[in-house]
Amino acid sequence: MIRYALSCKDGHAFESWFKSASAFDGLAAAGHVACPVCGTAEVTKSLMAPAVAQAAKPAAATLTEPANPLEEAMRALRRQVEENSEYVGVNFVTEARRMHQGDAPERAIYGEARPEEAKRLIEDGVPIAPLPFFPARKTN
C-alpha cells in the first residue's frame, strides 16, 4: 500500500491510499480518483516526504537508562511529585476544588483531569499546574 498526497485542479488537498503506484496511475487515468470536496476527477499527486521508519532502541536501554538529560530531569520531577504528594487519580478535580473551598485539608495532590476541567479550575482561581508526564497505568 502507498499513500499519496493529492490535489485537484481547484487546489483542494487530500490524501488517499493505493495498492501501488501503477494502481493510482490506472485509476486516475480512468477518472476513478476524485476530489472529496468538489468531485472533480482532475487530480494530481502533490509533493510529499516519504515515511521512513526509525530504528528501534534496544528495550533494555529504553527501560533502564534515560536517553538524555531532559528525560532524566523528567524522571526526577516525577519521583519528587510521587514522593511528596498524594495521588487522587480521577478525583483530582473534585479534591482540588474541595481543598480550595476549605472543605478538605490542604495538602499536595496530583491526579488526572481532562483539559477542559483543568481550564475551569484555573479560571475559578484554584492553584493547579499541569504535570509534564502521563499517569502510570497498569497494562496487561
CA dist., res. 110 & res. 16, Å (int) = 43
The total of other beta-carbon atoms located within 10 Å of residue 21's CB is 11
Mean pLDDT in residue range 87-116: 93
Mean pLDDT in residue range 119-129: 92
Query: What pTM, to 2 d.p., does this model score?
Result: 0.50
CA 106, 110, 114, 119 torsion-angle sign: positive
